[in-house]
């Protein structure tokens, strides 16, 4: 708020659905809370500055609400290329839209740059997910000849932690005139800034690291393009995916400690990943910060850290993974991530998780507890297997 005597240190929460006014209401004006809200704006401005965007961000009622708004940018009958290991809700939403003829969906391994480029250009065999949507060849079969209209980038991916060659894939998309949407939820703008890597729109599930306390459900989009922002704002206003002012106020409060939380959780994640490498009960450790990780070189070149998510695979398969989670006392078995508490789960317990995700894969969201406490809990659970 303005630095004036008697002014509050924190922006206040404004609980009002409508605002006093006379005369015409201009686009984006303060007439009704579905269009704008004084409790949204401080958060939207702060997130925009963190992402290095030239325009204020847009907050949504959920990350999936933000994803739906971003996907609305695809022209009818267009083509979307998306990582096969994107957040499950995003893939399910895109598949549903494709089934209803909104666009053709091509799922691809985002870490395989050649495969991504081929799907962007419409070359080669159909990708996983091809065949749905309205973009079809004259004979009625789904066509791979059409160039993509949108590239969706999630890097590192959820939950496999695959790392895209961000600059290469975004450059290829731009050459084709395709929009690039980047889900930056895992990294946060403190670790990765997709707009500087060629993205047009950045998406966040604010529920996760930005709010950081597992107590709100929110999403956000950020862009530097004023025309794109205007289009997204219109979609948000007309489709009603708006956030409550109190939830956004909580998210802004969480944002104030983002740097401290990421510093602590990221450092602990690196320690835990290296210790887990030495455990005979663990068959594989996935973490871009490990020098032997397939995505390490890329992550080092395009990120300012390696994030706070670690994934492991267990010797003994799903049974061993479930047994490990069951024996933990400090780690919390739960499906979300990015909170102050450390969360853990076997991902294939979700029936809609892709079969390409190993049955024994455990995703670990490292929180801000002391790293030795987190390790002691993991160690006792591993020793009991």
Joined together, the tokens standing for residue 169 give 């894939």
Over residues 255-306, the pLDDT tens digits come to 999 999 999 999 999 999 999 999 999 999 999 999 999 999 999 999 999 9
Residues 351, 369: one domain? yes
Crossing angle between the packed helical segments 41-51 and 245-255, to the nearest 10 degrees:
40
Q: Does the pLDDT of residue 31 top 60, yes or no?
A: yes
Instruction: Give the pLDDT mean for 202-213.
Output: 98
Active site residue 300: no
Please identify which of the residues 35, 60, 87, 209 carries the catalytic annotation: 87
Same domain? 246 vs 265: no
Residue 129, pLDDT > 80, answer no
Are 107 and 164 contained in the same domain? yes
Comparing 1 with 228, which gets the higher pLDDT? 228
Please say if 349 is a catalytic residue: no
Number of domains in the chain: 2
DSSP 198-234: T-SEEEEETTTTTT-SS----EEEEES-HHHHHHHHH
26 falls within a domain: no
Share of the chain above pLDDT 90, in %: 88
Both 207 and 60 in one domain: the answer is: yes
At residue 320, the 3 state secondary structure works out as helix
Task: Label residues 292-312 b or e (16+ Cβ within 10 Å = b).
Answer: ebebbebbeebbebbbbbbbb
Poorest-pLDDT segment among 10-24, 233-247, 270-284, 289-303: 10-24
Read off the pLDDT of residues 331-368 as tens digits, 9 standing for 90 and up: 999 999 999 999 999 999 998 899 999 999 999 999 99
Give the pLDDT confidence score for residue 134 in this predicted structure: 39
- Judge if 246 and 279 occupy the same domain: no
Catalytic: which of 183, 200, 322, 377?
Answer: 183
Are 54 and 197 part of one and the same domain? yes
Asked if residue 27 belongs to a domain, the reply is no
CB 268 within 8 A of CB 366: yes
Look at the pTM and tell me if it is higher than 0.95. no
Residue 194 forms part of a structural domain: yes
| Maximum C-alpha span of the chain | 72
Q: Is residue 287 part of a domain?
A: yes
CATH number for the domain harbouring residue 271:
3.90.1150.10
Give SS3 for 357: coil
Same domain, 194 and 291: no
Instruction: For residues 89 and 125, state if they share a domain.
Output: yes
Catalytic one of 60, 165, 208, 347:
208
Q: Is residue 198 part of a domain?
A: yes
Residues 80 and 110 in one domain: yes
Asked if residue 109 and residue 97 are part of one domain, the reply reads: yes
Q: Given a cut of 90, is residue 26 above it in pLDDT?
A: no
Q: Do the Cβ atoms of 191 and 288 come closer than 8 Å?
A: no
Whether 2 is covered by a domain: the verdict is no
Which tokens go with 76? 């009818």
Q: What is the CATH number of the domain that holds 113?
A: 3.40.640.10
Q: pLDDT tens for residues 315-341?
A: 999 999 999 999 999 999 999 999 999
pLDDT band, residue 139 (cuts 50/70/90): very low
The residue among 229, 255, 281 that closes a domain is 255
Residue 284 is part of which domain span? 258-383
Of 206, 228, 255, which closes a domain?
A: 255
Last residue of a domain, one of 196, 229, 255: 255
Residue 243 lies in a domain: yes
Q: Are residue 244 and residue 295 in the same domain, yes or no? A: no
Q: For residues 143 and 72, state if they share a domain.
A: yes
The answer to whether position 320 is within a domain reads: yes
**Is residue 60 flagged as an active site residue?**
no
Q: Which of 19, 30, 34, 275 is catalytic?
A: 34
């Amino acid at each position: 708020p303005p630095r004036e005597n008697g002014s509050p240190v924190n922006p206040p929460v404004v609980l009002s659905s409508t605002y006093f006014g006379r005369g015409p209401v201009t686009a984006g004006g303060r007439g009704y809370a579905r269009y704008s809200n004084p409790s949204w704006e401080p958060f939207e401005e702060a997130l925009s500055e963190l992402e290095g965007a030239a325009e204020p961000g847009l907050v949504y009622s959920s990350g999936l609400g933000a994803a739906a708004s971003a996907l609305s940018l695809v022209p009818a009958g267009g083509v979307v290329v998306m990582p096969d290991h994107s957040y499950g809700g995003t893939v399910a939403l895109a598949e549903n839209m494709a089934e209803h003829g909104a666009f053709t969906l091509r799922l691809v391994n985002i870490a395989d740059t050649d495969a991504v480029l081929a799907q962007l250009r419409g070359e080669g065999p159909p990708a996983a997910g091809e065949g749905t949507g309205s973009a079809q060849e004259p004979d009625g079969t789904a066509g791979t000849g059409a160039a993509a209209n949108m590239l969706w980038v999630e890097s590192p991916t959820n939950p496999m932690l695959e790392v895209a060659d961000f600059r290469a894939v975004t450059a290829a998309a731009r050459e084709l005139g395709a929009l690039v949407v980047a889900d930056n939820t895992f990294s946060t703008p403190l670790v990765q800034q997709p707009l500087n890597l060629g993205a047009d729109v950045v998406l966040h599930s604010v529920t996760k690291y930005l709010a950081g306390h597992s107590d709100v459900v929110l999403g956000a989009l950020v862009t530097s393009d004023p025309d794109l922002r205007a289009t997204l704002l219109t979609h948000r206003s007309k489709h009603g995916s708006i956030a409550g002012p109190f939830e956004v106020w909580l998210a802004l409060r969480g944002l104030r400690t983002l740097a401290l939380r990421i510093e602590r959780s990221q450092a602990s994640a690196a320690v835990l990943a290296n210790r887990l490498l030495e455990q005979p009960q663990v068959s594989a450790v996935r973490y871009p910060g490990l020098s032997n990780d397939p995505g390490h070189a890329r992550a080092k070149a395009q990120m300012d850290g390696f994030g706070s998510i670690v994934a492991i695979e267990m010797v003994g398969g799903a049974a061993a993974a479930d047994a490990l989670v069951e024996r933990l006392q400090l780690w919390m078995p739960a499906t979300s991530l990015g909170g102050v508490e450390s969360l853990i789960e076997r991902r294939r317990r979700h029936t809609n998780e892709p079969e390409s995700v190993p049955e024994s894969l455990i995703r670990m969201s490292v929180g801000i507890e002391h790293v030795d406490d987190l390790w002691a809990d993991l160690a006792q659970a591993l020793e009991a297997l």
